[in-house]
Amino acid sequence: MLEKHVRKIYEYVKSQNEWRNRTINLIASENVLSRTVRKLTGSDFAHRYAEGHPGERYYQGTDYIDKIETDLRNDFKTLFRCSQADVRPISGTNANEAVFSSFLKPGDIVMVNSTPGGGHISHHLAGSVGKFTKNVIDFPLSKDGFHIDVAKTKELIHICRPKMLIFGRSLFLFPEPVEELKDICNEYKIKIIYDAAHVLGLIAAGKFQDPIGEGAFIVTGSTHKTFFGTQRGVILSNMGNNEWQKVDKGAFPGSSSNHHLDTLVGLAVATQEVISFGKAYAEQTIKNAKVLAKSLKHQGFNVLGEEFDYTESHQVAVDVKEFGGGKMVASLLKENDIILNMNILPHEPLRNVTNPDGIRIGVQEMTRVGMKEDEMERIAALMKECLVDGKEVRGEVNKFRQEYTEVKYSFDELLADLKSPNLL
């Protein structure tokens, strides 16, 4: 009986691998790893612990991971032109937790992007911020809903004197006004925290904005979206060593113990890929997002942000209320092997979160398997055939996707002869 259950799990994994290789994945928070990175999965590091910092561990036997972690930390400092980097968080939310726990106290006022405005759950009362303070105020938004209203935000800052501004979003089309609000934050000693989870790879490539250079106190992020690494988190800053000690303790022992060495090793290789190929990848990703947005508009969809050329990131937002809403549309597309998620839009009340008007589209994974502008036009046409014409397009989707199964912007071809060092 137990053997049967184990075999069933193996079959589930096999089925997942085969199915997702047939789909067009447009989930904005996902990406794929190169074969070079995946070869490292399941090494002896998967069994080991390494609390603390390289050279200062609470465990023996960390000689090799010390070398890898030290180099990775230095790579992040170079990529993001900063003096401090912590690569130990095991997720973006874990990184946020380390920061919020270090600088927030009960009663502190925090300004964030609302859920309809694209804000991440870890920025809200129900998430990490809510563990440390209940005084959370939403940024006022401009009429389009995708930009912060700087003038109104300054008025609120004068009145409320918040302790922290948290920038960054889950629905993240355009840069945040870090530079525009830097001076008033300096005046009132307000810390700017920038959650770069979605756009970390674009920032690394110099293709979105430079939040640290523009005045952010700390940048956090996850490392598996536009930054195409393993699923982990990072904290970056130019703060002095004394203040950085708060973040250091927030990361360990504050929000983690061991920090999942197996995925740390994969991130070290993926970061080298970002250094080598990240600029070309980011440029193509943004081009693809813009072309997909324009193509969907041409196909008759209500694509948002037209007055700002739709997007400056990997994401596209579409109002699909006329097709039954985001939940229905995402479900129908999934049945046709086009995978994306429903998403609440800025004009909606929060109660719509479980059945919103919108969908969120991300092109970063399909870009990584080699799709370019022509393929974005094809995806828009397939979505139109499915949602407008009522056609079954799964077969066409599967056939189309079979032309794009190799991960690009990687060392895969260069290191094809590199054998996996793992025992499995």
286 in a domain, yes or no?
no
The answer to whether residue 93 scores a pLDDT higher than 80 is: yes
* pLDDT tens, position by position, 200-230: 999 999 999 999 999 999 999 999 999 999 9
- pLDDT confidence band for 323 (50 / 70 / 90): very high
Distance CA 175, CA 180 (A): 11
Residue 68 falls inside a structural domain:
yes
Q: What is the pLDDT of residue 170?
A: 97
User: What value does the mean pLDDT take over residues 65-94?
Assistant: 97
pLDDT in tens, 224-267: 999 999 999 999 999 999 999 999 998 988 788 889 999 999 99
Q: How many domains does the chain have?
A: 1
pLDDT of 424 strictly over 60:
no
Query: 383 in a domain, yes or no?
Result: no
18 Cβ contact partners less than 8 Å away, ≥ 6 residues apart = none
The residue with greater pLDDT, 423 or 285, is 285
Residue 311: pLDDT band by 50, 70, 90 thresholds? very high
Q: Does some domain include residue 344?
A: no
Q: Within a domain: residue 423?
A: no
In a domain, residue 52? The reply is yes
* pLDDT at 423 (0 to 100): 59
Q: For residue 33, tell me if it sits in a domain.
A: no
How confident is the model over 266-304, as pLDDT tens digits? Answer: 999 999 999 999 999 999 999 999 999 999 999 999 999
What does the pLDDT look like over 9-54, one tens digit per residue?
999 999 999 999 999 999 999 999 999 999 999 999 999 999 999 9
Query: In this structure, is residue 186 part of a structural domain?
Result: yes
Give CA separation, 58 vs 55, 61, 88, 251, in Å: 9, 10, 15, 15
Could you write out the three-class secondary structure of the chain?
CHHHHHHHHHHHHHHHHHHHCCCEECCCCCCCCCHHHHCCCCCHHHHCCCCEECCEECCCCCHHHHHHHHHHHHHHHHHHCCCEEECCCCCHHHHHHHHHHHHCCCCCEEEECCCCCCCCHHHCCCCCHHHCCCEEEECCECCCCCCECHHHHHHHHHHHCCCEEEECCCCCCCCCCHHHHHHHHHHCCCEEEEECCCCHHHHHCCCCCCHHHHCCCEEEEECCCCCCCCCCEEEEECCCHHHHHHHHHHHHHHCCCCCCHHHHHHHHHHHHHHHHHHHHHHHHHHHHHHHHHHHHHHCCCEECCHHHCCCCCCEEEEECHHHCCHHHHHHHHHHCCEECEEECCCCCCHHHHHCCCEEEEECHHHHHCCCCHHHHHHHHHHHHHHHCCCCCCHHHHHHHHCCCCCCCCCCCCCCCCCCCCCCC
Between CA 260 and CA 69 the distance in angstroms is 12
- Residue with the two structure tokens 């799709």: 371
- Give the whole-number percent of the chain exceeding pLDDT 70: 100
Q: What is the CATH number of the domain that holds 130?
A: 3.40.640.10
Domain range spanning residue 58? 38-270
